[in-house]
Amino acid sequence: MKNQNKIELIKQSWMFHLFKRNKSDLPNDPKALTKYNFKKQLDVHKYHLPNDIILPKGMENSIVEKLIRKRKIAPIYPSKEPYCDDDKICMICFQTVRQGMNTLRCCKGKRFICTLCLLFHPKFNLGKCELYCDVCQVVTKVYISEVDIDREITKIMNQPKEEYNEIDLLEVIKKSQINEPKTPSFANVRKEVIDKFKELGVEMRSDISADEYNLLDVNKMTDPDMAMAMVMSLC
């Protein structure tokens, strides 16, 4: 009888520790939690592309995911507006991805490009992970710039917050009460126009209307310079 009681106690103890190991034990401190989530995003061994990501025509998700998992190119996460002097800024979209940016070996880490812009760059070789640098005028390897976790967490925790006066605050409250979904800036632009800009690696301007974009002849967009010239003609 005593042996049966011991066995039962051992079982209960084992089940207790098993449950304790499986139980989520997230940190309560906001900074620690932010760091926990950030480090989790840096672990790309099981990385999957976000569902809303659109890749260039003919490019497979599995190939891109494999390159990211092998740390050949940086992971794709939502880009953010830079707000620190030492933020790594994408040379095409002028935004930053704090979980990692690609840099050009020839420029000694002085120029950066986010992975989404890299994939749409017309001179990027996906198979070799090489990009033609228009500054050095050479084909160069891309590699992931180092991520200083503690520094990035400090930036995130101390990012500037917008200050509102009473009138601005009322406007924010009014806008938050409107349930109508916001229409994206380029929702009414023809798909072939959007695809062409992405293909050439040229950013579309939000201050140009959809009707004006739809007047563009995509067949005349032979290179990025021509696309930018056509955009400037709409201003």
pLDDT in tens, 99-134: 888 988 787 667 899 999 999 999 999 999 999 888
Closest CA to 116 of 177, 72, 64, 182: 64
Burial (Cβ within 10 Å: 0-12, 13-18, ≥19) of residue 198: buried
pLDDT at site 24:
52
Point out the residues of the chain with pLDDT beneath 50: 1-2, 6-7, 9-23, 164, 179-183
Report d(CA 67, CA 127) in Å as an integer: 9
Question: Is 91 strand, coil or helix?
Answer: coil
The CB-based long-range contact list for 40-43 (8 Å cut-off, 24+ gap) reads: 41/75, 41/77, 41/99, 42/75, 42/99, 42/100, 42/147, 42/149
Q: pLDDT, tens digit, for every residue of 34-56? A: 788 878 888 888 888 988 888 99
What residues are paired with 131 via a beta bridge?
124, 140
Alpha-carbon dihedral of residues 214, 216, 218, 222, nearest 10 degrees? -150
State the amino acid at position 230 in one-letter form. Answer: M
- Quickly list H helices, 23-114: 30-42, 61-69
